[in-house]
A = this chain, B = another copy of it.
């Protein structure tokens, strides 16, 4: 015998949903799913990975003779499906204003078209990332191993696709793509972050890179590095200002070791080296280095500097 009254719970849950929708001023519209589907996005990103690296991340029944055909087929399917998801996101965003279906469809088409056009350039960037990983990790056996098994490469593939969608206003789709990488790799890169060629994250678990971070070329970072916002500083009205540059600028060739925390719109100058576990809230000049040891020394010598 059941120790619960299904009918009562169903009604109570119905009431909570009604209260929630009221609190959110939601109209109860008759349409079904007004939001993109995480499952569909998951499929799209897998298709795009296959189209970008057919012989490594594509299906097993691929051979050189049908490689291009696979790429064309899969791209066509993925972009078409992405367009549908894009329309869902844009229509949802426009739900309280005028919902001009044609305008939404045009914007979705433009965004997806932009991504499509950039795919070859994205692949070139990803090739540079693979090379950077190979050079940066003494344990790497081959570029192929990196594509097959390095979490940092998975994360940057997701990011380079997500970033284009973000730039074209598909922020929820971009976020879903980013979070799927986050779940699998522990690496959390906001789709808004700008990242140059030759980027390498080793190990990666716990890395967080914020929305307005700007990272140059050939930057290397390790697990648990945070490029975050300095949360304490607020504006006069007491509110955090949205969209303002609030994350670090990391110039070319910088290396940031595990566990380092860089906060605020500071600049790590070209070639700077940031030691493990350090806490940085001020800019570091080009070629400079910061480490636990240096911080302690500095701390004793120049007590007011931090």
**Contact indicator A145/B116 (Cβ below 8 Å):** no
When the two chains form the complex, which single residue of B20, B69, B203, B223 contacts A69, counting CB atoms closer than 8 Å? B69
Q: Hey, which chain B residues are within 8 Å of A20, CB to CB?
A: 127
Instruction: List A1-45 residues whose CB lies under 8 Å from chain B.
Output: 1-4, 6-7, 9-10, 12-17, 19-20, 23-24, 28, 30-33, 35-39
Q: Hey, which chain B residues are within 8 Å of A261, CB to CB?
A: 258-259, 276-277
A105 CB, nearest partner CB in chain B, Å: 9
**Contact indicator B306/A293 (Cβ below 8 Å):** yes
When the two chains form the complex, which single residue of B37, B192, B226 contacts A60, counting CB atoms closer than 8 Å? B37
Q: Hey, which chain B residues are within 8 Å of A145, CB to CB?
A: 171-172, 175
Taken together as a complex, chains A and B put the C-alpha atoms of A150 and B182 apart, in Å, by: 10
Taken together as a complex, chains A and B put the C-alpha atoms of A190 and B139 apart, in Å, by: 9
Q: Which residue of B lies closest to A224 (CB)?
A: B206
Q: If A2-B79, A72-B69 touch, does A279 touch B277 (CB 8 Å cutoff)? A: yes
**Contact indicator A69/B64 (Cβ below 8 Å):** no
Q: Hey, which chain B residues are within 8 Å of A116, CB to CB?
A: 3-4, 6, 9
**Contact indicator B6/A66 (Cβ below 8 Å):** yes
**Contact indicator A76/B80 (Cβ below 8 Å):** no
**Contact indicator A14/B110 (Cβ below 8 Å):** no
Per-residue interface assignment for chain A, residues 47 to 67, with 1 indicating a CB less than 8 Å from any chain B CB and 0 otherwise: 000011011100111111111
Q: If A66-B72, A226-B258, A300-B303 touch, does A151 touch B1 (CB 8 Å cutoff)? A: no
A70 in the interface (beta carbon within 8 A): yes
Taken together as a complex, chains A and B put the C-alpha atoms of A80 and B223 apart, in Å, by: 36
**Contact indicator A120/B206 (Cβ below 8 Å):** no
A253 CB, nearest partner CB in chain B, Å: 15
**Contact indicator A257/B276 (Cβ below 8 Å):** no
List residues of A whose CB falls within 8 A of some B CB.
1-4, 6-7, 9-10, 12-17, 19-20, 23-24, 28, 30-33, 35-39, 51-52, 54-56, 59-77, 79-81, 92, 109-110, 112-113, 116-117, 119-120, 123-124, 127, 138-139, 141-145, 148-151, 171-172, 175-176, 179, 182-186, 188, 190, 192, 203, 205-206, 208, 211, 223-224, 226, 228, 231-232, 240-242, 257-259, 261, 263, 275-277, 279, 291-293, 296-297, 299-300, 303, 306
